[in-house]
Structure 1
Amino acid sequence: MCAAKHSALSWTLALGLLAACTRESGGQSTVHAPEVPEAAARPRLVVLLVIDQMRADYLSRYADLYTGGLARLRQQGALFEEAHVQHALTFTAPGHASASTATHPSRHGVIENEWYDRDARKKAYAADDKDARIVTSGPRAGSPDGRSPEQLMRPAIGDWLKEQVPKARVFSVAFKDRASVMMGGQHPDRAYWFDAAAAGYVSSSWYGESLPAWVVDFNSETRVFRRFAEGWQRLRDAATYARSGADKVEFEADGVHTELPHGFDDGTPQARDSFLKELQWTPFGDELTLAFAQRMLKEEQLGADADPDILLVSCSSADYVGHRYGPMSHEAQDYYMRLDGYLDVFLRELDAQVGAGNYVLALTADHGAIPIPELLAQSGQQKDARRVTMADYKAQVTRQVGAATQALNLPPEILLDIGETGVWLDVAAAEAKGVRPDLLRAAVGKELAKLDFVAEVLTADVLSGAAPDTGASEFLERYRRSFFPARSPDVLMRFKEWTLAATFPKGTSHGSPYRYDTHVPVLFFGAQVVAKTLAEPVGTVDVAPTLAEFLGITPPAQVDGRSLASLVTTR
């Protein structure tokens, strides 16, 4: 190991010597407090940048086309090539929560984007809060549903920092509300997201009763409609997109509007309102979010003094583009070429406002995505690839659960809800009729295992350890990391690899424990980070502990991630 040459690196190495070694206690990591570095030594700002649905291969697939921010991050950053989301249910809300809290859903409780609330007898959304209200800036009313981190059971890195450095400030922003809320943690200064109904960025009363003047000004500008008239044109000449195959693909979008360019202004009076809803499905949603983040950086004076701050940004449109057109599409390629340019501007702003040696940035993703299954089958890449529409999936699941409950002399109402990954059962009602909960779950699981798209069934009893896991697959531990007893389904299903159970008949999605959904980038860039590529397997839960070590703060005792700081600051 080379000797430390800079003060920041010196304190990073010193932390490893001065802090007591991490020890395993009952399977939980107990981290002892490091010595807080000198104020001048630690970065003034930490940035967590999440690109929603960014597969790891996007960094290499278009590498020769990158000339801006992605090129700079790749060339000057430390990239872990085998980084994965380590829980099974790979969705937006749990992915962002795990990256920010360094814990799996089994701890932070955000198991999916939504789940069935047994007490309320209805669906619960990950960012729901009936007692909060949306705070807007103009005459348009925002969405009626309140948002807050009430459902998040563990503190995030921003909470760790504010507890240990009281003057620190923490802000998050994303196009999606759940992304911003989960990243921001339990007590950020503000969390913002885009609301099409309000035509701008909003927050909720959880964070404050009104929006700052600069947010009002930002929303009042016409930048939201900047791309309305010109539409989504190709960034480069058509030949550049040859690597992405045909642009006219019947399995994308609605099967008709599948080719670039995509227009927005059809001359009708409602075109502008329609554009506000369409914005998320284009690169321009993230262009706007990054512009908002840059304005926030300046107006809130983040990284301006010795008390470090945290800025958390999620690019949500990456996910929407991937869903609609698939990860191998012309639109996905165009999105990432544009993101390369957006991030070039963003990094330059960080350099100007904070100083190139005064911040550390981490880049990661919440999940990946499966290529469009029909294309995989058609091309012969994966002949068994298939789509199961949500309507067909729910019909088949209902039939199988009905067979199980009928055999137990139980009414069909025992089935409370069918989620994307499993079923919730009325175990209390079954028990009242003399059927033990474990026997009910086992019987339902046995029937669900007969479905031809199901590879494995895991009951709550197996996941909790109350029942033996004989015959369970290598994915058991991943599913246990996604299991939160009070919220998780009674019976979960792992679909066969290359099988997509999707809400829409076109496009693609995610949610599985397979490599195409879990393999994501983990990259560190900035103060004292050494440019390198590392083969060591890591998880997205390792991001927050690494940033915490740069900040000289201590994560809570029970986290699932570990710091990678020593790996990215040594040559």
Structure 2
Amino acid sequence: MKKRIVGFSFLISSILLVPCWIYANKSPHFVCVIVIDQFAYHHIKRLSPYFTDGFRTLLKEGVSFENAFHPHGVPTTATGHSTISTGALAKDHGIILNNWIEDGQNVVFSKDNSPESAVLTKKGSGKYGYSAKQLMVDNLSDQVVLGSRPYAKNYVYSISYKPRAAIGMGGKLGKCIWFDKNLKSFTSSKAYFKTMPSWLARFNKTHDIKKVGEVDWRLRFPITSTPYQFYNVADYEFTKQADHMAGEIIKIEGDQYDKIYQKTPESNGLLLSLAKTCLDFNFKKMNDEDKLLLWVSLSSLDRIGHIYGPYSLEVIDMIYHLDSQLEVFMHYVQDIVGAENVLFVLTADHGVAPIPEILQRKGFASAKRLNSTALTEEMNKIIEDEFGIKKIVQTFKANQFYLDNSIKKDLSKEKLNQIFALLKNHLLKQPAIKTCWTNQEMEKAKFPKNYFEQLYKNQFNSKRSGDLIFMPQPYCEIIKHQKGTTHRSPYDYDTHVPLIFYQEGVTTGKKNKKKVYMTQVASTL
């Protein structure tokens, strides 16, 4: 990490982000990085005229990089957060997807069931756990903690509903906190704390989601007003959930009450309240030389975006609520720390694609949805008919197919090549697929750096990537879901994200149109 920071020093001071001379005498004691899950840059372009609070402040007074991109062909939550925090490509930090197959086993990023990483409970610890053991490099959080001195301690906390987001940012040495779907409360693991922090236990006690009962999702503006006047705002034909939520009273009930709650704007408010509590606890024990890095990943936009798509009333209004919630949060932090002592960074882990069927209605005939389950069955039938081998394609994960290792290891190189040729031929016949590679082809491939294909190379790890990797055509989705949307392409709508730095009295509302990558953020900080 240190070598990587030195290597970027010229980049920081010349073309990247916030010039070093700005901070010569005003290095902030508190840095808060806010990552909004699925907050594509195209949301900023469409909705910024109606921002009145937090987003407006950031855009007006911060340094905004209008062409910031994730450098990967299949953007995911785990990959995006890990890239922001490490400054490395997925091929190097190793988190190529949210989960993958390695040595024939399914690996879920952040899952670690060793006793040393057991999840923390009210009575001690559980039988499962989480850690950053799959992360192959150190990250900014690790280096900040290691940079502590006896007279100047550095603290790092990382908070999210999703463990893969919290751990992707917090790394191995930061203190990571997430919402546990089994415990129905915020927690961590022994990888980060010996026991449940008392302040976190108190927060859980006073903020029990089960006691919420219902959420009144009131729109930020009158429904007939200009901020909602977009096409397809009320089109629910192709959404995963037929009934709408925005503007309704939402019952928080049933076995999945926590998931229902996390689809509402109020859930973002709860996470920001946890971030405030974390700040309050740490600020009391900090001296003038101590510093705090706080990562906050807001997941609810992603949960609602997959269901309703980026054009929906639910997504639009949640963003308007975030605008208001962030203003309150930022003012709170500035009041506690001092406005001149805090640097805010706003960005996202990935974007989101439009629902393809809606684009078809608009005349995009090439926009398509291809069912990945049906495609896997077709591929297996082809190989069974030709070679008598059953179910050789074992798993599909985000534009990648993994073959069954127990079958593959007994095949000759010649037969395996024949199988790959048949499978590739079938994939390339699909109108939704642009090109594909075998694992070996991708390992040897060289692409011009500005080609979309290079983004797949950036994400490729021979031990963790699939046996077959494909790139979809623009506005095409290959997923198991028949409705809703996702983010699995190298195109701008999935990779272009906001990136804003704001420190009161230091940044001055500048816009930078140079193309930058999210690998540059950690080095800048």
TM-score tier, shorter chain, comes to 0.7 to 0.9
Please report how far the alpha carbon of residue 459 of structure 1 lies from its aligned counterpart in structure 2 after TM superposition.
1.8
- For residues 185-241 of structure 1, what are the alpha-carbon distances to aligned partners after superposition, in whole Å with 9 as ceiling and x for unaligned? 1211x1111124323211112112321111111111146368643432322211135
Decide whether aligned partners of structure 1 residues 427 and 297 sit closer, same or farther in structure 2, where only a CA change above 3 A counts.
same
Q: Write out aligned runs for 1:510-525 (5 A).
A: 510-525=487-502
Contact between 2:447 and 2:453, CA under 8 Å: does it hold in 1?
no
Secondary structure class of the residue paired with 2:157: strand
**2:269 matches 1:287:** yes
Decide whether aligned partners of structure 1 residues 90 and 399 sit closer, same or farther in structure 2, where only a CA change above 3 A counts.
farther
Q: Write out aligned runs for 1:89-104 (5 A).
A: 89-104=74-89
Q: Which residue of 2 aligns with 1:488?
A: 465
- For residues 232-260 of structure 1, what are the alpha-carbon distances to aligned partners after superposition, in whole Å with 9 as ceiling and x for unaligned? 23222111353233554233544531353
Q: Write out aligned runs for 1:320-469 (5 A).
A: 320-380=303-363, 382-400=364-382, 402=383, 407=386, 409=387, 411-426=389-404, 429-430=407-408, 432-435=410-413, 441-465=420-444
1:184 to 158, 170, 181: 170
Please report how far the alpha carbon of residue 545 of structure 1 lies from its aligned counterpart in structure 2 after TM superposition.
0.9
Amino acid at match of 1:283: P
**2:227 matches 1:257:** no
Report the Cα distance in structure 2 between the residues aligned to 1:491 and 1:20, rounded to whole angstroms. 34
Please report how far the alpha carbon of residue 355 of structure 1 lies from its aligned counterpart in structure 2 after TM superposition.
1.2
Decide whether aligned partners of structure 1 residues 375 and 145 sit closer, same or farther in structure 2, where only a CA change above 3 A counts.
farther
Decide whether aligned partners of structure 1 residues 387 and 159 sit closer, same or farther in structure 2, where only a CA change above 3 A counts.
same
State how many pairs are aligned.
Answer: 502
1:237 to 197, 204, 222: 222
Report the Cα distance in structure 2 between the residues aligned to 1:470 and 1:105, rounded to whole angstroms. 17
Amino acid at match of 1:542: Q
- For residues 50-90 of structure 1, what are the alpha-carbon distances to aligned partners after superposition, in whole Å with 9 as ceiling and x for unaligned? 11000112223222322211111111111111111111111
TM-score normalised by length of structure 2: 0.88
TM-score normalised by length of structure 1: 0.81
Report the Cα distance in structure 1 between the residues aligned to 2:449 and 2:391, rounded to whole angstroms. 29
**2:517 matches 1:539:** yes
Q: Which residue of 1 aligns with 2:296?
A: 313
Secondary structure class of the residue paired with 1:46: strand
Amino acid at match of 1:159: D
Report the Cα distance in structure 2 between the residues aligned to 1:128 and 1:228, rounded to whole angstroms. 31
**Larger deviation, residues 529-538 vs 430-439:** 430-439
Q: Which residue of 2 aligns with 1:109?
A: 94
Secondary structure class of the residue paired with 2:249: coil
Contact between 2:241 and 2:307, CA under 8 Å: does it hold in 1?
no
Report the Cα distance in structure 1 between the residues aligned to 2:257 and 2:406, rounded to whole angstroms. 47
**Larger deviation, residues 166-175 vs 129-138:** 129-138
Please report how far the alpha carbon of residue 321 of structure 1 lies from its aligned counterpart in structure 2 after TM superposition.
1.2
Please report how far the alpha carbon of residue 272 of structure 1 lies from its aligned counterpart in structure 2 after TM superposition.
6.1
**2:199 matches 1:214:** yes
Paired-residue identity, %: 27
Please report how far the alpha carbon of residue 383 of structure 1 lies from its aligned counterpart in structure 2 after TM superposition.
2.5
Decide whether aligned partners of structure 1 residues 530 and 441 sit closer, same or farther in structure 2, where only a CA change above 3 A counts.
farther
**2:62 matches 1:77:** yes
Contact between 2:28 and 2:341, CA under 8 Å: does it hold in 1?
yes
Amino acid at match of 2:395: D
Contact between 2:158 and 2:166, CA under 8 Å: does it hold in 1?
yes
Q: Which residue of 2 aligns with 1:552?
A: none
Decide whether aligned partners of structure 1 residues 117 and 375 sit closer, same or farther in structure 2, where only a CA change above 3 A counts.
same
Decide whether aligned partners of structure 1 residues 464 and 226 sit closer, same or farther in structure 2, where only a CA change above 3 A counts.
same
Please report how far the alpha carbon of residue 420 of structure 1 lies from its aligned counterpart in structure 2 after TM superposition.
2.4
1:46 to 23, 27, 31: 31
Amino acid at match of 1:285: S
Decide whether aligned partners of structure 1 residues 463 and 449 sit closer, same or farther in structure 2, where only a CA change above 3 A counts.
same
Q: Which residue of 2 aligns with 1:297?
A: 279
Please report how far the alpha carbon of residue 495 of structure 1 lies from its aligned counterpart in structure 2 after TM superposition.
1.4
Q: Which residue of 1 aligns with 2:3?
A: none
Please report how far the alpha carbon of residue 152 of structure 1 lies from its aligned counterpart in structure 2 after TM superposition.
0.8
Q: Which residue of 2 aligns with 1:57?
A: 42
Q: Which residue of 2 aligns with 1:168?
A: 154
Report the Cα distance in structure 2 between the residues aligned to 1:149 and 1:298, rounded to whole angstroms. 26
**Larger deviation, residues 321-330 vs 525-534:** 525-534
**2:133 matches 1:156:** no
Gaps of 5+ in 2: 1-5, 12-19
Contact between 2:217 and 2:247, CA under 8 Å: does it hold in 1?
yes
Please report how far the alpha carbon of residue 397 of structure 1 lies from its aligned counterpart in structure 2 after TM superposition.
3.7
Amino acid at match of 2:263: W
Report the Cα distance in structure 1 between the residues aligned to 2:502 and 2:9, rounded to whole angstroms. 25
Report the Cα distance in structure 2 between the residues aligned to 1:58 and 1:196, rounded to whole angstroms. 29
- For residues 356-401 of structure 1, what are the alpha-carbon distances to aligned partners after superposition, in whole Å with 9 as ceiling and x for unaligned? 1112121111110111111111122x2221222343233234345x
Secondary structure class of the residue paired with 2:33: strand
Report the Cα distance in structure 2 between the residues aligned to 1:304 and 1:371, rounded to whole angstroms. 48
Amino acid at match of 1:298: D
1:199 to 168, 171, 184: 184
**Larger strand share, 1 or 2:** 2
Gaps of 5+ in 1: 1-18, 25-33, 548-571
Contact between 2:87 and 2:520, CA under 8 Å: does it hold in 1?
yes
RMSD, aligned CA: 2.9
